[in-house]
Structure 1
Amino acid sequence: MTRPALVLDFGGPVLLTPFELVAELPGTPAHALLHERGPLATVDQPDPTWADLQAGRITERHYWDERALEWDRHTGHGSDIRAMIAHLYEPPRPALVREQARALVRDAHAEGLKIAILTNDLRAFHTEEWIDGIEIVGDVDVVVDGSVEGHLKPAPRLYELLSERLDVGFADMVFLDDQSSNIRGAEALGIPSVWFDVSDPDTSFAEVRKLLGLAEGPAHG
């Protein structure tokens, strides 16, 4: 029987989101822009643009372009999305990566499973030097980056490239992603998928482990 391959979206399941990082920056423009937005939006402070993204009415790039324009209005630092992201993610450091993701990759390796990162924006948002400083990227077998390939999730071609490079069929993957549209795109191809809930990471990782046949990992509050 074929062992399933683990496929991880990078931003969200592996890397902490900007919406989480700004919690440590109260009183800053980044906090004003992103606190309780996106997946952490509340009833009292909804994020309609994020809701449009989840419903598939706009793309993830469109969402971040809108946030970058707001960033420029708040700071006057320009609307370059890469500059806004760098403000939160520089320098590369271990605290940016979820411990549950590290444990999952480690345990999947121990079981001999293939592991991939399937991302839309790794090199669009980060420099090669920054990527080299995030150790977990070097711990996977394959990285497929839509910003390099010219196809973005949920375009079928990006999933096809993943399958080709992993040498694994769609049905023999388990995919974790925090964007509903990317999950829908994967499931349309027959890829078993788990939507990553940024507000409840432990439950999402537990579901992936169950599908992979791995023991439960560490829980984090």
Structure 2
Amino acid sequence: MSTIDLNADLGEGFGRWRLTDDEELLSVVTSANVACGFHAGDAATMRRVCVLAAERGVTIGAQVSYQDLAGFGRRAMDVPSAELAAEVAYQIGALEVFARAAGARVAYVKPHGALYNRVVHDEEQAAAVIEGVLLAGAGLPVLGPPGSRLLALAVQAGLAAVPEAFADRAYTEHGTLVPRSEEDAVVTDPDMVVERSVRLAHSGTVDSRAGASIEVRARSLCLHGDTPGAVDLARRVRRRLEESGVRLEAFA
């Protein structure tokens, strides 16, 4: 039987503004990538999501980002390595306080947005993220793109490297995500997202934007919580995965 983790980006609100339906998505996913205040989220939101995740038995992960609330962490930035490492550790530590208060813990780390895309190829920025994870002190697994410098450096540092795939994002022929600045970067057809999810779980393959079958073997499958109809789509994906014989289980 195939086994896969189902994760979503949660806690992506700020103050009175909420972007994701955290309560409902936490009844579907097995891992929660919680925004730590740099691209979205605030102290109250982090605390609320950690309590809900702990109550539902959902694994909590720190979704770390460039410090970019205005751009939702999706703008390219050049941050000095030492500064980025400190900021990554800072975000993990902030979330850990609320996770422990809820009777849980931060169990992994995942970069967000522009940082996620940058660490695919950028050795220096990827190394800074790993340094930040090590600085936080818990030896946490790192969730990221297959074949990325981030995961390679995680292995070198003695951390668990967990490859991730996206059912609702378009891929290039090289196996990387199509930038959101380009047309059709997000897959919006629910039926296609469901079909891609099952295919990724069973065969580790997906069609690129050009229509070629490419290999994207992953232990975790991400669905974005900020897309229209995200909750219903997540439920459909989970149901079809289970109907196809896939066991849903957190990796951490």
TM over 0.5: no
Structure with the higher strand share, 1 or 2: 2
Q: How high is the TM-score relative to the length of structure 2?
A: 0.34
Q: Which has the higher contact order (CA 8 A, sep 6+)?
A: 1
Greater percentage in helix: 1
